[in-house]
C-alpha cells in the first residue's frame, strides 16, 4: 500500500489535557506522529492541532475516525498539499568562523533565510517554508557543522473557503 505523508488538521476544544488525549490516541493505536503543532484559533475556545503522519489511505481514514471519536474533538480533516498552504519554521545554529561566514550567508540568501544571530564562531539562521525547502537548506548546510537545530513542525491551512474546514 502506498505510504504517503499526510497532514491532518484536528480542531479540538481548548480544554486542559486535550493534547494528551490526542497524542495518547496516536500512541495507543500505533499511528506515527512525524510532527505536531498546537495553537489557539481565532476562537479562543478551540485549538488547532496539526499532525503530520505517514500512512496509506486506509490507515489515514482510521486515524481520522478514531480521532473524531474523542469527546473533545470538534472536527478532523486531511489537508491535501495541492489545496493547502503549509509552512514550517527552522532555526539552525551553524558553526562558522570569519572565513566560512560568507559561504553560509550565500546559502541563506538563496533560500531567503534570515540571519538572526551572529557570534564569532557561529550564526543562527531562520527559515520559513514548506518542509522540503527546509530539508533542502539543511542539506546544503551539511558541509558545515550544525551545532543545534530546531523545527516547529508543520502548520497548515486549506486554501479558499471550504465548508468542512471551518468550525
Partner 1 sequence: MQLNGSQILVNVLLEQGVDTIFGYPGGSVLNIYDALYAYKDKIRHITTAHEQGAAHAADGYARITGKTGVVLATSGPGATNLVTGIATAYMDSVPMVAITGNVGTSLIGRDSFQEVYIAGITMPITKHNFVVRDVRQLADTLRQAFEIAGSGRKGPVLVDIPKDITAAKCEYEPKPPVEQHKSADVSGAAEIAEILNNAERPVIYFGGGVPAAGAGALLRELAERAQIPATHTLMGAGVLGYDHPLNLGLIGMHGNRTANLAVHNADVILAAGTRFSDRVALNPNKFGGGAVIIQLDIDKSEINKNVTVQHSMTGDTALLLESLLQFIEPAQHTDWLAQIARWKKDDYTPVDSPDHLTPHGIMQTLCDTCEPDTAYVTDVGQHQMWAAQYLRHVGERSFLTSGGLGTMGYGYGAAIGAKCACPDRRVIHITGDGSFHMNMNEVCTAVSYQLPIITVLLNNQVLGMVRQWQTAFYGRRYSCSELDRKTDYVKVAEGFGAKGYHCETPAQFEAALKEAMTQDGPVWIECVIDREERVLPMIPAGGTVQDTIID
CB 141 within 8 A of CB 104: yes
Task: Verify binding: residue 162, partner 1, rule CB under 8 A.
Answer: no
Backbone angles phi, psi at 131, to 5 degrees: -55, -35
Please identify which residue in 40, 43, 68, 109 interacts with partner 1, judged by CB under 8 A: 68
Q: How far apart are CA 100 and CA 34, in angstroms?
A: 33
As a three-state string, the secondary structure of 5-65 is EEEEEEEEECCCCHHHHHHHHHHHHCCCCCEEEEEECCCCCEEEEEEEEEECHHHHHHHHH
Task: Verify binding: residue 13, partner 1, rule CB under 8 A.
Answer: no
Task: Verify binding: residue 105, partner 1, rule CB under 8 A.
Answer: no
Task: Verify binding: residue 71, partner 1, rule CB under 8 A.
Answer: yes
By beta-carbon proximity to partner 1, the closer residue of 53 and 155 is 53
Please identify which residue in 30, 42, 44, 58 interacts with partner 1, judged by CB under 8 A: 58
Backbone angles phi, psi at 166, to 5 degrees: -105, 175
Which of 58-66, 93-101, 105-113, 143-151 is the region at the interface with partner 1 (rule: CB under 8 A)? 58-66
By beta-carbon proximity to partner 1, the closer residue of 39 and 71 is 71
Binding site for partner 1 (CB under 8 A): 17, 20-21, 24-25, 28, 58, 61-62, 65-66, 68-72
Amino acid at each position: 500500500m502506498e505510504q504517503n505523508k499526510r497532514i491532518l488538521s484536528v480542531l479540538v476544544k481548548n480544554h486542559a489535557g486535550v493534547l494528551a488525549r490526542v497524542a495518547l490516541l496516536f500512541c495507543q493505536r500505533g499511528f506515527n506522529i512525524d510532527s505536531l503543532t498546537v495553537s489557539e484559533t481565532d476562537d479562543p475556545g478551540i485549538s488547532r492541532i496539526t499532525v503530520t503522519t505517514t500512512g496509506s489511505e486506509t490507515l489515514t481514514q482510521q486515524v481520522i475516525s478514531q480521532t473524531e471519536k474523542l469527546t473533545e474533538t470538534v472536527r478532523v480533516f486531511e489537508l491535501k498539499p495541492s489545496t493547502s498552504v503549509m509552512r514550517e519554521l527552522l532555526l539552525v545554529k551553524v558553526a562558522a568562523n570569519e572565513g566560512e561566514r560568507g559561504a553560509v550567508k550565500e546559502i541563506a540568501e538563496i533560500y531567503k533565510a534570515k540571519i538572526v544571530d551572529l557570534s564569532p564562531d557561529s550564526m543562527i539562521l531562520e527559515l520559513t517554508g514548506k518542509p522540503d525547502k527546509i530539508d533542502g537548506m539543511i542539506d546544503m548546510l551539511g558541509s558545515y557543522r550544525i551545532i543545534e537545530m530546531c523545527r516547529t513542525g508543520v502548520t497548515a491551512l486549506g486554501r479558499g473557503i471550504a465548508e468542512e474546514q471551518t468550525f
